[in-house]
């Protein structure tokens, strides 16, 4: 902490007070902010088990800010809704749509996972990035977080190198980029 040396005189009192106020303002700017996200207890436990060296809140924050490899964020809502409608997981739905598996059987029970709202601490810049990502998709932060967290966990390393090379060769036949081709196959 920076202390200022002073005397008993009141000549420089105004300068002293002005200096003290600027130190106070910079301290307020460093405070973290909270955002509420939707997460089921089962998924939180799976994340903690898979990534024991990183805190749950830090993992969630990173998942909300980064893109999923080869799957565009614009597709996530479509994928999530279709997977829920077919009563299968997101990963199984994508593998089926890409022709990597046969028609998947429903693996979910009738019991719904209980989602809960949790608050995560982040800084203002990261909160703005998360808000912009949700706004660009036309969703609230809570809806965006529910879909993005689940998709980030399930879709990590979804395709093998050989599968990606196969898709890249097929994408060249359509004069598309790899991500565009994957999007076309999933929506088609």
- How does pLDDT run across 9-38, given as a tens digit for each residue? 666 666 666 666 555 545 545 578 999 999
Question: Does the residue 73 lie in any domain?
Answer: yes
Q: Which domain holds residue 69?
A: 31-158
| Whole-angstrom distance, CA of residue 113 vs CA of residue 17 | 56
d(CA 164, CA 45): 30
Average pLDDT over residues 173-183: 94
pLDDT bucket at 188, cuts 50 / 70 / 90: confident
Closest CA to 35 of 110, 115, 117: 117
pLDDT computed for residue 126 by the predictor: 93
Q: Per the structure, how many domains does the chain have?
A: 1
| In a domain? residue 10 | no
On whether residue 96 sits in a domain, the answer given is yes
Instruction: Confirm whether 165 is domain-assigned.
Output: no
pLDDT of residue 95: 94
For residue 115, report the phi and psi dihedrals to the nearest 5 degrees: -85, 145
- Asked whether residue 154 is domain-assigned, the answer is yes
Contacts of 149 (CB under 8 A, 6+ apart): 37, 38, 39, 43, 60, 63, 64
User: Does any domain span residue 151?
Assistant: yes
In a domain, 187, yes or no: no
Note whether residue 176 is domain-resident.
no
- Which pTM was predicted? 0.77
Note the pLDDT tens digit of each residue in 62-101. Answer: 999 999 999 999 999 999 999 999 899 999 999 999 999 9
How confident is the model over 51-68, as a mean pLDDT? 94
């Amino acid at each position: 902490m920076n202390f200022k040396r002073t005397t008993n005189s009141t000549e420089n009192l105004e300068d002293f007070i002005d200096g003290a106020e600027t130190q106070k303002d910079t301290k307020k700017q460093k405070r973290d902010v909270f955002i509420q996200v939707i997460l089921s207890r089962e998924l939180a436990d799976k994340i903690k088990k898979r990534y024991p060296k990183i805190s749950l809140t830090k993992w969630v924050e990173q998942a909300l800010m980064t893109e999923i490899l080869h799957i565009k964020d614009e597709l996530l809502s479509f994928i999530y809704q279709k997977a829920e409608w077919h009563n299968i997981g997101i990963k199984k739905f994508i593998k089926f749509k890409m022709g990597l598996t046969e028609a998947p059987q429903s693996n979910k029970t009738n019991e719904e996972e209980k989602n809960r709202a949790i608050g995560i601490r982040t800084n203002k810049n990261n909160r703005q990035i998360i808000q912009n990502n949700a706004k660009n998709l036309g969703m609230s932060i809570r809806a965006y977080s529910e879909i993005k967290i689940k998709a980030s966990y399930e879709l990590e390393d979804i395709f093998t190198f050989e599968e990606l090379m196969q898709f890249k060769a097929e994408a060249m036949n359509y004069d598309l980029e790899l991500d565009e081709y994957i999007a076309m196959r999933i929506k088609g």
